[in-house]
Each structure stands twice: as structure tokens, then as C-alpha cells.
């Protein structure tokens, strides 16, 4: 049992809950390592069909834990590099190539926390949810996640969010395409489980092919995207 991540199985569903509410679920080395490993394990488990990513407390995730190494006097460069590599995988959800991942955002998702949420295939957010990239206010550049944000919402909207550091409410996030569903806070886990159970009732192979096509073809010219989709579909016979 991890102190920073709770794992719950319910049939074909796996719920992963970040449990650092006192630190606003900031991504420290332990959480990054454990979450990374849990997603890799889930991808390899044929009995798991859908993954739900949630958080304990009023904040989904405040991004990287900038204070983790602040008071240490030893060389933390290797640890920092390892954490950065793990976050890079999380922000692309590259551990899970074939199964739907649903983010449950009830509260603020900031910086790397926003990147983590929108890396998921479906984002279910409460009416209390907020999204933002406030790093600029501390003199930091969100270099690692900016290209991913551009891919989701386009050049001007991505530059606006990251250059101003402003926080947007859930309705603006939905209008930008960062959020899939908006529900009341008290209903959010029930809605996530409803959607997860619906997906788990479908063909796992068909969902896998669909996910691969969606993830791969976004940056391809139309003709190449269509050819890729046909190839993947033929290889999966769905």
C-alpha cells in the first residue's frame, strides 16, 4: 500500500487516487514513480479495461513539487532527472497505449496537474474545477508541457494560458476542448464510474484501435491519417 497513491479494483475498472492532499497532490518523486509504475502494470493486465485517475482532497494536482529538493544539500540531479522523465511519460500518458484513461478533476488542476489531466482520454470535471499554467508567475517556463497544450487547443490559446498564467473555470476549459463532461462535485465519481462501466462493456480490441488512431493521427496530414487508420484497423480485424 502506497502512502501517495491508492489503488482500487472493481471488475474491469481500476481507480488510481493520488493521496497527497496536504501537498495539493503535487507531483514529487514518490508519486511520479508509483503512478508511472501503476499505469504500466495496468496496461499489461488483460483483466483491466478502463483506468480512472482521481485525487483526494480539494485540489486535483498542483503540478510539480518544487519544494521537494529545496532543503537538501546533497546532489539531487539524478533524482530530479528521474522525476522529470517520469512526468514526461505521465504528461503524454505514454504508459497506457491501448486502454481508456478517465481523469476525474474536482478542484484545481495547475501546471503539471493540468497536463496530467488533459493527457487522459476523457476528462470529467466538476463545476468547481479550474485549470491553469501559473509557472510564469514564478519566473518559470512551461517548456515541457507547452507543445502538448498547443496540440490540444492551438497556438494562440496555449500561449495565452501559459504567458498570462491565468486560471480558467471549467466552462472555459470545456469550450477549449480540455474537458469532456461537467458534473456537480458530489456526482463526479459516480459519473466517472458510469462512463468507465459503459466503456468496459464494449470490445476492448475496438477501443484499443480507436485510441491508437486518435493518438497517432492528430499530427498527420489527412491522407496519411486515413491510411494509418485503415492499417491499424486491418491489423486488429475490427
Nearest partner of 60 among 146, 188, 175, judged by Cα? 188
pLDDT of residue 143: 85
Report the C-alpha gap between 232 and 46 in whole angstroms.
Answer: 20
Question: Going by C-beta distance under 8 Å and a sequence separation of 6 or more, which residues neighbour residue 78?
Answer: none
What are the tens digits of pLDDT across the range 43-101?
A: 999 999 999 999 999 999 999 998 887 877 787 888 889 999 999 999 999 999 999 99
3-state secondary structure of 176: helix
CA torsion sign, 13 to 19 to 23 to 28?
A: negative
Strand partners, 59: 108
> Is position 184 annotated as part of the catalytic site?
no
Of 135, 171, 184, 191, which residue is the catalytic one?
135
Strand partners, 6: 17
Nearest partner of 59 among 107, 4, 110, 14, judged by Cα? 107
Amino acid at each position: 500500500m502506497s502512502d501517495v497513491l491508492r489503488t482500487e479494483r472493481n471488475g474491469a475498472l481500476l481507480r488510481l487516487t493520488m493521496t497527497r492532499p496536504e501537498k495539493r497532490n503535487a507531483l514529487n518523486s514518490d508519486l511520479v514513480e508509483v503512478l508511472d509504475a501503476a499505469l504500466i502494470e495496468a496496461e499489461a493486465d488483460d483483466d483491466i479495461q478502463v483506468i480512472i485517475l482521481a485525487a483526494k482532497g480539494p485540489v486535483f494536482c498542483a503540478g510539480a513539487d518544487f519544494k521537494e529538493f529545496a532543503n537538501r544539500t546533497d546532489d539531487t540531479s539524478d533524482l530530479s532527472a528521474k522525476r522529470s522523465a517520469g512526468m514526461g511519460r505521465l504528461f503524454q500518458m505514454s504508459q497506457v497505449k491501448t486502454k481508456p484513461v478517465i481523469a476525474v478533476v474536482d478542484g484545481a488542476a495547475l501546471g503539471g496537474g493540468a497536463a496530467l489531466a488533459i493527457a487522459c482520454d476523457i476528462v470529467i470535471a466538476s463545476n468547481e474545477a479550474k485549470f491553469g499554467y501559473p509557472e510564469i508567475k514564478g519566473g518559470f517556463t512551461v517548456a515541457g508541457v507547452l507543445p502538448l497544450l498547443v496540440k490540444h487547443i492551438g497556438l494562440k490559446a496555449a500561449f495565452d494560458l501559459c504567458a498570462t498564467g491565468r486560471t480558467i473555470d471549467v466552462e472555459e476549459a470545456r469550450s477549449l476542448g480540455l474537458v469532456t463532461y461537467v458534473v456537480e462535485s458530489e456526482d463526479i465519481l459516480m459519473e466517472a464510474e458510469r462512463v468507465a462501466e459503459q466503456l468496459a462493456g464494449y470490445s476492448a480490441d475496438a477501443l484499443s484501435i480507436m485510441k491508437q488512431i486518435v493518438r497517432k493521427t492528430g499530427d498527420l496530414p489527412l491522407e496519411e491519417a486515413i491510411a494509418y487508420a485503415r492499417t491499424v484497423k486491418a491489423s486488429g480485424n475490427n
